[in-house]
């Protein structure tokens, strides 16, 4: 982990909702980062009060938060980022690293609002950042130095795994897979639990069976030399119960529907990015 790179760095987080909180907790987990080097900014007192006793600096003023930070993390909704960038552009300098997690807002747009050659990193994390298990894909502007690349990596490693993409365009694809992905998994869990209840299993037990089956399967896949397709075959014996279930899956268009849904998310991600440029 590159987290030592963050020692003595001043970090501002603007927007303390789901992701801003996850990032703050991620940074706080590492003792090399002193809470007094963090400043959080959000218009809502209740969001800031989460960190009342943490020793972190809290503010309602984005300019105040941004002005002395080495790293400025923008964790507001995409529609709010334009306002925030306009607000902070006069206090930000080219020596500060901007990290944006706003979906669909590209690096070019951020730089053009700031109006200078700015080191900018654009990230697509996911909600699993809340438990330090995000899959964060990211891209950087050409102004991001080797040192700043290590710093961005260090920030993202505090919330999970990260992959630096060569091509920013790949972020739309990553958005459809890992950005939206936790929602697909939760949907699958909902369906799985519903099926168990239909079989007459009570809700608590259904949730337990499904959750542990999921955790076990993921751990097995992670530790195994085999891929998911081979492991699936290991559960499915000829003429058995699993095969009976797959006969039904295979006779429906479930695979086509899944691919279609992912493509719709990808298309929407591109549309939202284009809309933000207009
Ligand atoms: N949630 C996900 O799964 C996920 C995954 C990947 C990427 N993202 C991206 O992460 C960003 C944040 O998402 P989120 O789910 O954390 O949203 P969220 O929970 O709505 O948090 C956004 C926060 O920003 C605050 N805010 C609004 N205007 C502001 C301003 N002018 N200055 C400072 N703070 C302001 C909001 O305060 P109020 O509540 O008072 O408005 C809220 O606390 C989005 O751009 C999203 O695209 C989210």
pLDDT in tens, 49-103: 999 999 999 999 999 999 999 999 999 999 999 999 999 999 999 999 999 999 9
Secondary structure string (H, E, C) spanning the chain: CCHHHHCCCCEEEECCCHHHHHHHHHHHCCCCCCHHHEEEECCCHHHHHCCCCCCCEEECCHHHHHHCCCEEEECCCHHHHHHHHHHHCCCCCCCCEEEECCCCCCHHHHHHHHCCCCCEEEEECCHHHHHCCEEEEEEECCCCCHHHHHHHHHHHHCCEEEEECCCCCHHHHHHHHHHCHHHHHHHHHHHHHHHHHHCCCCHHHHHHHHHHHHHHHHHHHHHCCCCHHHHHHHHCCCCCHHHHHHHHHHHCCHHHHHHHHHHHHHHHHHHHHHHHHC
105 is written with which tokens?
A: 């807002």
Taking the C-alpha atoms of residue 81 and residue 62, their distance in angstroms, rounded to an integer, is 12
Q: How much is the pLDDT for 95?
A: 95
Distance 102 CA to ligand 1 centre (A): 8
Helix axes 228-235 and 203-223, enclosed angle (nearest 10)? 130
Average pLDDT, the chain: 94
Residues with CB under 6 A from ligand 1: 14-20, 41-44, 47, 62, 75-78, 80, 83-84, 101-103, 124-127, 179
- Probe ligand 1: pick from 12, 16, 18, max atoms within 8 Å of CB? 18
Q: Report the alpha-carbon distance of residue 246 to residue 229 in Å, rounded.
A: 13
Distance from residue 154's CA to the centre of ligand 1 (Å)? 22
The rounded percent of the chain whose pLDDT value lies above 90 is 90
* pTM for this prediction: 0.92
Task: Inform me whether the pLDDT recorded for 1 exceeds 70.
Answer: no
Radius of gyration of the chain (CA): 22
The ligand 1 atom at the shortest distance from the C-alpha of residue 18 is 16
Give the pLDDT band of residue 4 (cuts 50, 70, 90): confident
Residue 22 confidence (pLDDT): 95
Q: Do 136 and 160 contact (CB within 8 A), yes or no?
A: yes
What would the pLDDT profile of 171-210 be if each residue is shown by its tens digit? Answer: 999 999 999 999 999 999 999 999 999 999 999 999 999 9
Q: Which of 134, 78, 120 is nearest to 103 (CA)?
A: 78
Please report which confidence band the pLDDT of residue 271 belongs to, taking 50, 70 and 90 as the band edges: confident
């Amino acid at each position: 982990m590159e987290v030592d790179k963050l020692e003595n760095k001043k970090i501002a987080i603007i927007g303390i909702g789901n992701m801003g909180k996850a990032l703050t907790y991620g940074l706080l987990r590492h003792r090399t980062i002193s809470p007094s080097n963090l400043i959080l900014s959000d218009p809502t007192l209740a969001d800031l009060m989460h960190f009342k006793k943490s020793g972190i600096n809290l503010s309602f003023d984005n300019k105040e938060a941004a002005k002395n930070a080495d790293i400025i993390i923008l964790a507001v909704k995409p529609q709010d980022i334009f306002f925030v960038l306009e607000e902070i552009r006069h206090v930000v300098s080219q020596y500060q690293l901007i990290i944006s997690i706003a979906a669909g807002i590209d690096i070019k747009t951020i730089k053009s609002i700031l109006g200078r050659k700015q080191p900018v990193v654009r990230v697509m994390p996911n909600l699993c950042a809340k438990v330090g298990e995000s899959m964060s894909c990211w891209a950087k502007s050409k102004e991001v130095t080797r040192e700043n690349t290590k710093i961005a990596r260090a920030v993202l490693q505090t919330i999970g795994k990260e992959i630096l993409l060569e091509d920013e365009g790949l972020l739309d694809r990553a958005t459809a897979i890992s950005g939206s992905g936790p929602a697909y998994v939760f949907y699958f869990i909902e369906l799985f639990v519903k099926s168990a209840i239909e079989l007459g299993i009570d809700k608590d037990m259904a949730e337990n069976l499904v959750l542990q089956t999921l955790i076990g399967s993921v751990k097995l896949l992670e530790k195994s030399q085999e891929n998911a397709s081979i492991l699936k075959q290991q559960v499915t014996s000829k003429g058995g119960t699993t095969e009976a279930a797959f006969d039904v899956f295979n006779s429906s268009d479930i695979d086509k529907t899944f691919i279609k849904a992912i493509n719709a998310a990808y298309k929407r991600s591109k549309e939202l990015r284009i809309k933000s440029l207009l």
